[in-house]
Chain A
Amino acid sequence: MRVALKIAGAALTIISSGLAGLTVACSYRTHARELAGWVTALAVLETEISYGLTKLGQAMRHAGQSAGGSPKRVLARAADLLEDGGYGSAGDCISKALTEETASCSFLWSGKWREDLEAVVVLGEALGASDSADQARHISLASRRLERRRQLAEEAATVNYRLWSAMGFLIGGMVAIALI
């Protein structure tokens, strides 16, 4: 009975530790995917603004819908605040929406979230305040900055996904052996 309990405990430790490792591993991929989503959203935003001359609120919604995930939530919320008219500039609305999103995003990346999306916050200050050619320049600059962040995140994900997938189970195994 005692042995059976030890085996069950060891298995539980290995599984829980392994799952924690997998969560961390997946979060690296999610991080890269979210940044890719933002790059897509900015590409659509550029098209909406420079070719479609779509009003900013609607343009942000379209951009968010095409990317999904956090860009969709953030841009839809920013568009709501903007169209409500009482919150301030596009930059203020995007900052507010990002702050709300930070509170609900993965705890692993909440610290890095602001750093990653600094380019979007800076872009928000310029959005809607100049002609379409200038808007395209601002969006393209922000997009390049985000693309660099995405590449770094992709590289980190390639290395760390395998590492953390195995690490979780290994640490779990070591703890189980130590406890037994």
Chain B
Amino acid sequence: MRRIVRDLVAEQICPALPPRAREAVKALPDEVRQSLTEIRLRRGRPAMGVVPEGDFYLSSDGQPLWLDRGRAAFSSEIPASAVMCSEDEWDAAMRLVTECSIYALERELAAGYITLRGGHRVGLVGRAVLEGGRIRTQRELSAMNFRIARQIIGAADSIMPYIVRRVGTLQHHRVSVFSTLILSGPGYGKTTLLRDIARQLSYGQDGTGLMVGVVDERSEIAACSGGIPGNDLGPRADVIDSCPKAEGMMIMIRSMSPDVIVTDEIGHAADSEAIEEARRCGVAVIASAHASDWDDAQRRPALRDILARGAFERGILLSNRLGICTCERIVHMATGTDLLDSPFLLSARADERDGGACRCGLR
């Protein structure tokens, strides 16, 4: 029997694309469309698709024009069939992405991204408007990057034994979680891993589910729409959406008494304080941060401070060495001991829910 796979790109990304780019994406071969990780639009230049195997221009006939397979790689010549992002296309893209509501997205524009329904992040860059030395908003936007988020059920299966411990007797045990920091460069699966950790802790095993507080500043973990999470985070997860992390963590601790707080992309001094406070309250924190390795993390003042305070007990480093979502290292933070013998690819138990998981480097 043929397995039905959800076409996430056609369902959730295409409605936000301008007409010509939308048609070009719809016309792509199914296997290419379902393995798209990014779609990039640049004003006055060809629209581009990104898959783990490489980048290509979108074409009106649906055939990917690969950039690294032939003359297009180092040539300024743009193939005639490439879909150009004309002014009309760009205006349409802006209207669709912002839903004609620039005023409602000032904070997001200042931060450089908008989150679409389904938790897909659209990065936006243009000319920054400064006020008091800080970015107030961006004008004359020139490029947008649709980053396609996929929930991979089971992505954290191999990780869970390293971050969860059972306390008590065999008959009367409870679960406790090590505070964990996940590090990697962009696009290596930090959010995907966090999301599945949150889901697994929330569901639990043998009645050992935990209250999980998700502080989802960028709406990527839960993909909330109208207050309802678009991703499966289990029965015990509470989500505070679009809230700055430090404040969100404090609100969670005060109001929802979570066992674990899950949050994405920490990196500010205020985050460090909030994590410290959570730890003092006996709440474990599972967070991610941008850094390619531990040395890189130590060079970021806020992360260095967090690590120096010993706020995290486990560290996970992701890379793309064996494919996207390679678990490179799992570290016992207090001793610096490596808990892994060798890197491995994180596994996806099932990809029926959101198609294309296997093509994202997950086996």
Q: Which residues does A use to contact B, with CB under 8 Å?
A: 49-50, 53-57, 59, 82-83, 85-86, 88-90, 127-132, 134-135
Contacts and interface: CB of A to CB of B under 8 A. Distances in A.
Interface size class for chain B? 10 to 19
Contacts of A132: 103-104, 106
Interface stretch (B94-102, B144-152, B172-180): B94-102
Contacts of A86: 19
Interface of B: 15, 19, 91, 95-96, 98-104, 106, 137
**Closest 9 A/B residue pairs (Cβ):** A128-B100, A132-B103, A53-B104, A55-B101, A56-B101, A56-B100, A90-B100, A135-B103, A55-B99
7 contacts: A49-B104, A56-B104, A88-B95, A89-B100, A128-B99, A128-B100, A128-B101
A130 B15 contact: no
A51 to B, nearest CB: 11
B16 to A, nearest CB: 8
Contact of A85 (B15, B101, B102): B15
A134 B103 CA distance: 9
A55 B104 contact: yes
Contacts of B101: 55-56, 59, 128
A128 B103 contact: yes
Contacts of B95: 85, 88-89
Given A85-B96, A132-B103, 17 more contacts: A49-B103, A54-B104, A55-B99, A56-B100, A57-B99, A57-B100, A59-B101, A82-B99, A82-B100, A86-B19, A89-B91, A89-B100, A128-B100, A130-B103, A131-B102, A131-B106, A132-B106
A44 to B, nearest CB: 15
A59 B19 CA distance: 25
B79 to A, nearest CB: 27
A90 B15 CA distance: 17
Nearest to B15: A85
A78 B100 CA distance: 12
A52 B95 CA distance: 20
Contacts of A131: 102-103, 106, 137
A61 B241 CA distance: 24
Nearest to A55: B101
Which of A59, A127, A128 counts the most B-chain CB atoms under 10 A from its CB? A128
Contacts of B102: 128-131
Contacts of A57: 99-100
B104 A129 contact: no
A82 B101 CA distance: 11
A99 to B, nearest CB: 19
A129 B137 contact: no
A124 to B, nearest CB: 10
A49 B102 CA distance: 10
Nearest to A50: B103
Nearest to B109: A131
A83 B99 contact: yes
A85 B98 CA distance: 11
Nearest to B19: A86
Contacts of B15: 85
B100 A127 contact: yes
B164 to A, nearest CB: 40
A88 B102 CA distance: 15
A21 to B, nearest CB: 45
Contacts of A128: 98-103
Nearest to A135: B103
A132 B136 CA distance: 13
Nearest to A52: B104
A75 to B, nearest CB: 13
Contacts of B137: 131
B103 to A, nearest CB: 4
